[in-house]
């Protein structure tokens, strides 16, 4: 198992050729993050995409871009990519992410109903056309036909990639000092 610890400098210098890359996070000291991780029997409570060096696509109030440093202050991070993803696959991922980012703000809103559903184990509870962070895992389906998760949690996606070590690799992890 890869346990490479990344520094801030390492993260800011992740090669463009490895992007987009999946990013799992855990909000240190957050009661909500802890509740989600406990409920899901996992380590991570949020899922994002590293679009390019230093820039994440993340679902909060809306799906939008942020600087990765915004998450490095209070989050543990794990970076994962597909071993066989070439230029074509990465272009496809960039295009589907960009398509969602370009939607009007009201089409990029967060789905609070889905979080309630996740909490109570009723994942079917979800507003149409709205997403939670881990719904963005669906982009994987565009390049990996084995991706079959519906309404996943970050833990579901993390476990799915871990169960496929021949296809997915951990680039590294970032932990706060």
| Residue spans per domain, the chain | 8-174
Q: What is the CATH number that goes with domain 8-174? A: 3.90.1720.10
CB 13 within 8 A of CB 21: no
Has residue 117 got a pLDDT over 70?
no
As a whole number, mean pLDDT of residues 101-107 equals 93
Q: What is the pLDDT of residues 120-136, one digit of tens each?
A: 666 666 666 777 788 89
Taking the complete model, does pTM exceed 0.85, yes or no? yes
pLDDT tier at 11 (50, 70, 90 boundaries)?
Answer: very high
Most confident of 24-38, 42-56, 85-99, 126-140: 85-99
Mean pLDDT of 47-60: 96
Residue 88 has pLDDT above 80, yes or no: yes
């Amino acid at each position: 198992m890869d346990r490479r610890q990344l520094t801030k400098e390492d993260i800011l210098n992740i090669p463009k050729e490895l992007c987009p890359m999946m990013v799992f996070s855990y909000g240190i000291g957050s009661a909500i993050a802890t509740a989600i991780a406990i409920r899901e029997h996992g380590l991570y409570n949020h899922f994002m995409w590293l679009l390019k060096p230093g820039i994440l696509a993340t679902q909060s109030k809306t799906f939008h871009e942020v600087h990765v440093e915004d998450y490095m202050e209070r989050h543990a991070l794990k970076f994962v990519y597909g071993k066989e993803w070439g230029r074509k696959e990465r272009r496809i991922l960039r295009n589907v992410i960009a398509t969602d980012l370009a939607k009007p703000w009201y089409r990029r809103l967060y789905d609070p109903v889905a979080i309630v559903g996740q909490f109570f184990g009723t994942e079917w509870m979800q507003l149409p056309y709205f997403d939670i962070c881990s719904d963005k895992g669906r982009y994987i389906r565009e390049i990996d036909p084995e991706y079959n998760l519906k309404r996943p949690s970050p833990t579901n996606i993390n476990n799915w990639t871990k169960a496929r070590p021949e296809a997915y690799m951990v680039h590294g992890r970032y932990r706060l000092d």
